Amino acid sequence: MARGKFITFEGIDGAGKTTHLDWFRQQLAAKLAAHGRQVVMTREPGGTPLGETLRGILLNQPMDLETEALLMFAGRREHLAQVIEPALARGDWVLSDRFSDATFAYQGGGRGLPRDKLEALERWVQGGFQPDLTVLFDVPTQTASERRSAARAPDKFESESEAFFERTRNEYLRRAAESPQRFFVVDSTRPIGEIRKKLEEAVASL
């Protein structure tokens, strides 16, 4: 069976990606079922027992910036080895809530870790591996802030300033401009029905 596809959902906290993630999975699963393939749903940080343990630490414990980035990539290496690569090899499609673009956006853009350090870790952990498609939910930072304030109690990233999220958003958009063949940017201020039509276009592209 041919190799599966790897799709990631990205965006700053409050961009709305979680609203569409399960719907997208259902649409994708329905299309793939006729071909005997499945959708593996996962997330970062997380995705494995080790990754979920690291998630609890990363989202709640203060730490040095470089420690934070190293832990993100350590969890990603385990995620690739235990979940993503085996699923793709057996022909399944993988849908992940965040991947390495989030590390460049949050630890790089938001926190200011030099890009060359992140690129070195990316090469080490991933080689040349990248998603087949990255759906980026883009929204103004003020809109995202209003959405976050209406959600659950914030973790340490969700508690960051609007300036932090502006830098994070800008890094996401820089990454998208750098790799337009991989990114599918969605205006997350649009009505849900309109966004889902765009997501159907994204599925069709694969």
- Return the pLDDT at 154: 74
With vertex at residue 187, the alpha carbon angle to CA 182 and CA 188, rounded to the nearest 5 degrees, is 115
Cβ-count burial of 204 within 10 angstroms (0-12 exposed, 13-18 middle, 19+ buried)? Answer: exposed
Do you find a cis peptide bond into 191, omega within 30 degrees of 0? no
- Return the pLDDT at 148: 75
Q: pTM of the entire structure?
A: 0.93
At residue 150 the predicted structure's pLDDT band, cuts being 50, 70 and 90, is low
The order of strands in the sheet holding 39-43 is 39-43, 93-97, 6-10, 133-138, 183-187
Is 195 assigned to a binding site?
no
Does residue 137 sit in helix, strand or coil?
strand
Is 22 assigned to a binding site?
no
Distance CA 33, CA 39 (A): 9
What value does the mean pLDDT of the chain take? 93
| Under 8 Å between Cβ of 202 and 184 | yes
Nearest to 95 by CA among 12, 160, 39, 172: 39
Is 192 assigned to a binding site?
no
**What is the rounded average pLDDT of the residues 111-118?**
98
At residue 152 the predicted structure's pLDDT band, cuts being 50, 70 and 90, is low
Is 31 assigned to a binding site?
no
> pLDDT tens-digit profile of 185-197?
999 999 999 999 9
DSSP at 44: S
At residue 66 the predicted structure's pLDDT band, cuts being 50, 70 and 90, is very high
Tokens of 153: 């109690």
- Return the pLDDT at 181: 95
**What is the rounded average pLDDT of the residues 22-45?**
92
Residue whose token pair is 């203060």: 62
Is 18 assigned to a binding site?
yes
Q: Give all domains of the chain, ordered by start, each with its CATH number.
A: 6-205 (3.40.50.300)
Nearest to 147 by CA among 37, 15, 52: 15
Is 14 assigned to a binding site?
yes
Kind of pairing between the strands at 183-187 and 39-43: unpaired
Distance CA 10, CA 43 (A): 11
**What is the rounded average pLDDT of the residues 87-91?**
96
- Return the pLDDT at 151: 64
Is 13 assigned to a binding site?
yes
Flag whether pLDDT at 1 surpasses 70. Answer: no
Is 46 assigned to a binding site?
no
